[in-house]
Amino acid sequence: MNNDKADVRLEDVEGTKAELDRKARKMLEDKDADSRMRIYDGPLGKAIVVLLCLWTAFQLYFTTIGAISAINLRAIHCIFLLVFTFLLFPTYKKEKRRRKVPPLWDWFFILGSAGSFLYLIFNYTRIAQTGGRISSLEIGIALVALVCVFEAARRASGNLAILAAVFLAYNWFGAYLPGYLGHNGFTLKRVLITQFWGTQGLLGTGIGVSATYIFLFVVFGAFLKYSGFSHFINDFSLTLVGRTSGGPAKVAVIASGLMGMINGSAIANVATTGTITIPLMKRTGYKKEFAGAVEAVASTGGQFTPPIMGAVGFVMAEFLNLSYTYVALAAVTPALLYYVGLLLAVHFEAKRLGL
């Protein structure tokens, strides 16, 4: 009889965990575009894996011991980024994820993005030597590239692409604004030349940082994630503070901080650690609002917790002309104070509630 009851309790626990995992996946799909990627069956799925390995090998070689011009590195990085975006990211949220080939329109985007940046790679030196003279054909190529980039950004970032489009449109409607916000306006040709054929647009600082620092740290974080390091983080946090006052909330803070060191995404951090820590906090006696807030705030801190911070850290290093190591070391103190403050907040809340 006791064994039957134990089996029932075990089934309840397993059912609760499965339900939490399902909710976590749904939250990721609603908020994080990465979790909505397409899944390909058949030869194309294997080909994508091979291409990803080739991209990783290319990036690792040319950002360590290989030699390549900055423009070519950034352009090839853009080709890989755009091709994989159109292959893996769905056109709209409710699109069928499992398929054998991408839709027809994605092939046009893939050919347009790859063709435009390949043309730039083979002709950039010639155009630079002629003083930047651009033909009508090359203006059209720049327009195709810009459209492909905005479509890729819309799929991967959602509303952020709309914000970028507003700033791009400022080149034209700024001529109608009064005061300091106004300007004389720019022609379409000038905008396209700056955005595609120059080094201050698509191939500017942002893609330069992505092709060097960000890619390496993302690969590093992926190795840690899939080697089981996240399970070690949860176990270590439970061992460290699990039996103290308000222990589950402290586990959430420490686990999210450690996870933030290898993952720059706050949403993925919540989904990874929150399925364990939020139910623990609720069962201990914390209010559900407080439990959710602790997990959200602790996961957000991972954006500025070294060594792998959010993309802003890499862009900051590039703009300030400093090494990323210097920026990461400068972030140690504020990150430490941030998490110490969180630990004190949950500790005092636990003492107030008598947990």
Query: 79: pLDDT confidence band, cut at 50, 70 and 90?
Result: very high
**pTM for the model:** 0.69
For residue 3, the model assigns a pLDDT of: 53
For residue 17, the model assigns a pLDDT of: 55
Average pLDDT, the chain: 80
The pLDDT tens digits of the residues spanning 112-139 come to 999 999 999 998 888 888 777 888 898 9
29 versus 322: the higher-pLDDT residue is 322
Helix and strand numbers (H, E) in the chain are 15, 2
**333-342, long-range: CB within 8 Å, 24+ apart, which pairs?**
334/304, 335/257, 335/301, 335/304, 335/305, 335/306, 338/301, 338/304, 339/253, 339/254, 339/257, 339/298, 339/301, 339/305, 342/253, 342/294, 342/297, 342/298, 342/301
For residue 21, the model assigns a pLDDT of: 59
- For residue 99, what is the enclosing H or E element? strand 98-99
pLDDT for residue 218 is more than 80: no
Average pLDDT over every residue of 240-257: 75
For residue 147, the model assigns a pLDDT of: 93
The pLDDT tens digits of the residues spanning 283-331 come to 777 788 888 888 888 888 877 888 777 777 777 887 888 888 888 888 8
Average pLDDT over every residue of 214-227: 75
Average pLDDT over every residue of 38-54: 88
For residue 18, the model assigns a pLDDT of: 60
For residue 108, the model assigns a pLDDT of: 93
Q: Which of 145-159, 221-235, 283-297: highest mean pLDDT?
A: 145-159
Q: Which of 17-26, 133-142, 261-270: highest mean pLDDT?
A: 133-142
Question: Lowest-confidence range among 3-7, 61-65, 70-74, 154-158?
Answer: 3-7
For residue 76, the model assigns a pLDDT of: 92
pLDDT for residue 109 is more than 80: yes
The pLDDT tens digits of the residues spanning 272-295 come to 677 677 777 777 777 888 888 888
263 versus 201: the higher-pLDDT residue is 201
| Bridge partners for 99 per DSSP | 40
Kindly report the number of other CB atoms within 10 A of residue 326's CB atom.
Answer: 11
Q: Please choose, from the candidates 314, 338, 340, 339, the residue with its C-alpha nearest in 3D space to the C-alpha of residue 326.
A: 314
pLDDT for residue 213 is more than 90: no
Encode 106-115: b = buried (16+ Cβ within 10 Å), e = exposed.
Answer: beebbebbbe
pLDDT for residue 227 is more than 80: no
Query: 54: pLDDT confidence band, cut at 50, 70 and 90?
Result: very high
For residue 158, the model assigns a pLDDT of: 81
pLDDT for residue 111 is more than 90: yes
For residue 211, the model assigns a pLDDT of: 85
pLDDT for residue 14 is more than 70: no
Domain assignments of the chain as residue spans, ordered by start: 1-29, 32-203, 217-353
For residue 8, the model assigns a pLDDT of: 47
